[in-house]
Amino acid sequence: MTNRFSAQINAEIYNIGPAMFNAVRNAVIQQGTTARTAADHASNKAKLSATVASILAEAAPRDLDHRALWQVIWPRITYAGTRASKATAEIASMRACVPLFGDLNHYVPGQYVFDKQEWLAFVHYWKGRQATSYGKQRWLERSKTQPDWNPAAHFKRTTPQVWQILTKDDNAYPGLMFSALPAKAEKYFTVAGFLHEHRAKGALQPLEYYTGGHVFHSGHLTGEPWVQERSMLETAKGRFEQQLGQLTALHTMMDLGLKTIKPDRVMTYLFSRLGWLQTLPATMSKQQVVAAYLDPSVIREMTARADVLAASLDKAGFEQAHRLLDIWFVKYGQEPERSFGITVNLQNVGPGIRGVLEGLKGKARFVDGDIGIEEAAAMWPMEEFASLA
């Protein structure tokens, strides 16, 4: 595939976008849920439909107070890098077992102090006492049976309210499901502390801090207004990113209705295979794409290209366009997750998503509303991205 200018890629995305989206969605519904019997196939489709409806229903308004924004942000931290079914179960457990995750009002300054190095030393000590790899995988469960198990003796800075959560203390939080990854723990307590302090200063709408007070237009902009909006979105992403990290920041922004997606490895690989990325051309292998998908230039290009695709869906009458394309493209290329009805990774079948695009191109005819390269260049004055190949 020859190198293409940004405007060429954007014209293709905009013109074929609605047909491509419908083809991907239909493939996931019909082929991504296959089963041995018609009854099981129907059951899988019902699970998938319920999952998508649930995700779309989670869209949050932007006039949230601090307590409501807390309930938007912390579950997105849980989802990061975790299978959706596992994260969903953890979120329900955390909300039910730990008062702080149920309501920000339970945050008390000074009671939720987390020292990452203390926790890493604690894990190293108890995991090191396990002789086998299996034991090391289940170090916490096994350590709790030891006669000298006494977490309090290991922590000087980390407060009991925190280490009891991390160790899933059987007395304080019986039955708690919680992945005690230090990076996630740090984010939970950082965000809770920030929102508590921000509210204590008299602020009413915390989202204004992240957006810098900018009011985002609900429609899809073009030309210079589009450039200005992308700049404002980058500013908001930067503030969220300081607390949440790159992808979780974008996930949170998307769920708040801001015009972006969460460009994870699945979505990025699919866009690469479609030839829609200059940074990661279609000639790159999956391993090469996965190694580079977090590069800032890739994320910048992914969110910009996705905005063009969302604009085409919006024009075709789809609501929540960014969320829709994020859901269905990921479902197309994700590994099977039977609890959500997905039984097949369609990207591993035949030519995958590239075959879907080529099939549509073979049937394509210029229709009213299609745009040319010059018009695409004017609508989205986008930079040319350097290849990482």
> Considering Cα of 196, then 200, then 205, then 210, what sign does the dihedral take?
negative
Are 378 and 223 contacting, i.e. CB atoms less than 8 angstroms apart?
Answer: yes
Q: pLDDT by residue (tens digit) across 281-298?
A: 999 999 999 999 999 999
Q: Structure pTM?
A: 0.92
Contact 296, 275 (CB under 8 A): no
Dihedral sign from CA coordinates of 90, 94, 95, 100: negative
pLDDT the model gives residue 2: 59
Across 351-369, average pLDDT = 85
Look up residue 164 and give its two tokens.
């009891």
State the pLDDT at residue 162.
98
Write the pLDDT tens digit of every residue in 11-22.
Answer: 999 999 999 999
DSSP of 245-313, one letter per residue?
Answer: -HHHHHHHHHHTT-S-----HHHHHHHHHTT--SSS-TTS-HHHHHHHTTSHHHHHHHHHHHHHHHHHH
Encoded tokens for 146:
């030891």
Mean pLDDT score of the chain: 95
* Alpha carbons 156 and 150: distance in angstroms, whole number: 13
Rounded (10°) CA dihedral 172, 173, 174, 180 = -130
Domain boundaries, the chain: 6-64+222-379, 84-200
pLDDT at 347: 98
Structure confidence at residue 328 (pLDDT): 97
* pLDDT(216) > 90: no
CA atoms within 13 A on the CB side of 268: 28
